[in-house]
């Protein structure tokens, strides 16, 4: 395959924009379509942890994929800031993963044999790193490579960079259907007319599966709602991200903390609820007791694209040339944006793949 002259990206979330960015720097003419504003769904609802280690429970190819993307981040962030003028708010501090229960302690310790550089910290050692921790903390692991970015700024930087690179961005323009000629996907029907391109990329997150039905292909992805809160403390309580089972606390450069996140499989519902605010407050206070008296800033929710086996879909279908799928990144969309952008760019420009995509085939059996 040679470099395509033109590519249409369906879905301007962080995955779609990262692919568009990868292609645009190679000189490909890219059009990004979104049913609303760019990065308005899961992308900016995320906390922005680059948690290759903290989010992985077992070794294997997915762990390697996550680590590869994590390694790309500093340079990717720099380049994006250079082009866009917008800082991604990259912070090079790690994540302190703590255990509050015996079960969680056991799960965490089971990672020690295979996770590079992971070592068990006693309760006293965790409190030395973060003195505000609760006495209920039984110990933990410090993942020094699990840094963070601010998703809102990643989104703005990607948009600014794409425009600088001459890409076309069409917001408020839902895609209704793939246009298929023979068995080849050649374009898209939108509420603003038909568009054609050499290659089409589907990266519409939780809204992706229905567009594949004309191909008689059922992508088993579904929305998983996640609600977060932001609070402000008068003085900083923690300096690393602190992460326990079911709750994380991310310190920001602006003096706020992002606390997340619920996981709710209730369909296309992204309403925020006061009960989730209370729940997150209660969970976070169990980890850092002084959080009980913080000032509330805001709450929001997003719909992550979940998959049955927890792995994303990146790749092409066996009998639908012209179409590439990149979705299902669930809790790892921010982390995996650079590597997904790179892999799809390699795929579409005929370069050798840096990492094998077999485990992420949309046609795998979960």
- State the residues that interact with its own copies by CB under 8 A: 35-36, 84-87, 89, 153, 156-157, 159-161, 163-164, 170-174, 176-177, 189-193, 206-207, 209-211, 213, 229, 231, 234-236, 239, 251, 253-255, 267-275, 277-278, 281-282, 285, 291-296, 299, 303
Query: Would you say 111 or 147 has its CB closer to its own copies?
Result: 147
Query: Would you say 150 or 329 has its CB closer to its own copies?
Result: 150
CB of 316 to its own copies, least distance (A): 22
d(CA 205, CA 270): 14
Can you tell me whether residue 335 is helix, strand or coil?
A: helix
d(CA 340, CA 119): 30
CB of 89 to its own copies, least distance (A): 8
Query: Would you say 93 or 109 has its CB closer to its own copies?
Result: 93
Q: What is the dihedral sign for C-alpha 103, 248, 343, 180?
A: positive
d(CA 340, CA 14): 10
CB of 335 to its own copies, least distance (A): 22
Q: What is the DSSP letter of 57?
A: -
CB of 247 to its own copies, least distance (A): 14
Query: Would you say 211 or 317 has its CB closer to its own copies?
Result: 211
Query: Would you say 91 or 337 has its CB closer to its own copies?
Result: 91
Q: What is the DSSP letter of 48?
A: -
Residue with tokens 């033109």: 6
Query: Would you say 109 or 170 has its CB closer to its own copies?
Result: 170
Nearest to 97 by CA among 253, 250, 214: 250
d(CA 198, CA 30): 10
Token reading at 61: 């190819």
CB of 198 to its own copies, least distance (A): 23
Token reading at 321: 């040339």
| Residue 112 burial class via C-beta count within 10 angstroms: exposed 0-12, middle 13-18, buried 19 and up | exposed
Q: What is the DSSP letter of 362?
A: T
Query: Would you say 69 or 227 has its CB closer to its own copies?
Result: 227
From start to end of 61-204, where are the E strands? 95-99, 120-122, 139-143, 168-170, 175-181, 184-190, 193-196, 199-202
CB of 259 to its own copies, least distance (A): 9
Can you tell me whether residue 9 is helix, strand or coil?
A: strand
d(CA 52, CA 66): 5
Query: Would you say 56 or 190 has its CB closer to its own copies?
Result: 190
d(CA 198, CA 189): 15
Query: Would you say 167 or 349 has its CB closer to its own copies?
Result: 167
CB of 109 to its own copies, least distance (A): 30
CB of 12 to its own copies, least distance (A): 13
CB of 56 to its own copies, least distance (A): 28
């Amino acid at each position: 395959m040679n470099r395509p002259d033109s590519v249409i990206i369906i879905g301007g979330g962080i995955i779609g924009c990262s692919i568009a960015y990868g292609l645009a720097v190679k000189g490909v003419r890219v059009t990004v379509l979104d049913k609303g504003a760019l990065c308005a769904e899961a992308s900016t609802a995320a906390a922005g942890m680059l948690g290759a280690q903290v989010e992985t429970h077992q070794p294997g190819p997915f762990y390697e994929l996550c680590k590869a993307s994590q390694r790309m981040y500093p340079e990717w962030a720099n380049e994006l800031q250079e082009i866009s003028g917008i800082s991604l708010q990259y912070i090079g501090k790690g994540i302190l993963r703590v255990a509050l229960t015996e079960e969680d302690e056991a799960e965490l310790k089971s990672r020690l044999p295979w996770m590079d550089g992971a070592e068990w910290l006693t309760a006293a050692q965790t409190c030395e790193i973060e003195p505000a921790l609760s006495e209920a903390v039984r110990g933990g692991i410090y993942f020094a490579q699990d840094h963070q970015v601010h998703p809102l700024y990643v989104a703005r930087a990607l948009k600014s960079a794409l425009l600088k690179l001459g890409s076309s961005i069409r917001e408020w323009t839902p895609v209704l259907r793939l246009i298929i000629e023979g068995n080849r996907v050649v374009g898209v029907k939108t509420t603003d007319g038909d568009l054609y391109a050499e290659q089409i990329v589907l990266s519409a997150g939780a809204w992706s599966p229905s567009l594949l039905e004309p191909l008689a292909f059922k992508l088993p992805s579904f929305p998983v709602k996640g609600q977060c809160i932001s609070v402000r403390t008068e003085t900083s309580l923690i300096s690393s991200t602190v992460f326990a089972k079911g709750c994380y606390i991310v310190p920001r450069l602006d003096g706020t903390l992002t606390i997340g996140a619920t996981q709710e499989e209730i369909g296309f519902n992204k309403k925020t609820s006061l009960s989730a605010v209370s729940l997150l407050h209660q969970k976070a206070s169990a980890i850092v007791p002084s959080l009980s008296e913080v000032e509330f800033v805001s709450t929001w929710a997003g719909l992550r694209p979940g998959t049955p086996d927890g792995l994303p879909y990146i790749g092409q279908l066996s009998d639908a040339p012209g179409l590439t799928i990149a979705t299902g990144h669930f809790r790892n969309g921010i982390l995996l944006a650079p590597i997904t952008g790179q892999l799809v760019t390699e795929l579409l420009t005929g370069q050798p793949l840096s990492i094998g995509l077999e485990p992420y085939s949309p046609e795998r059996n979960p």
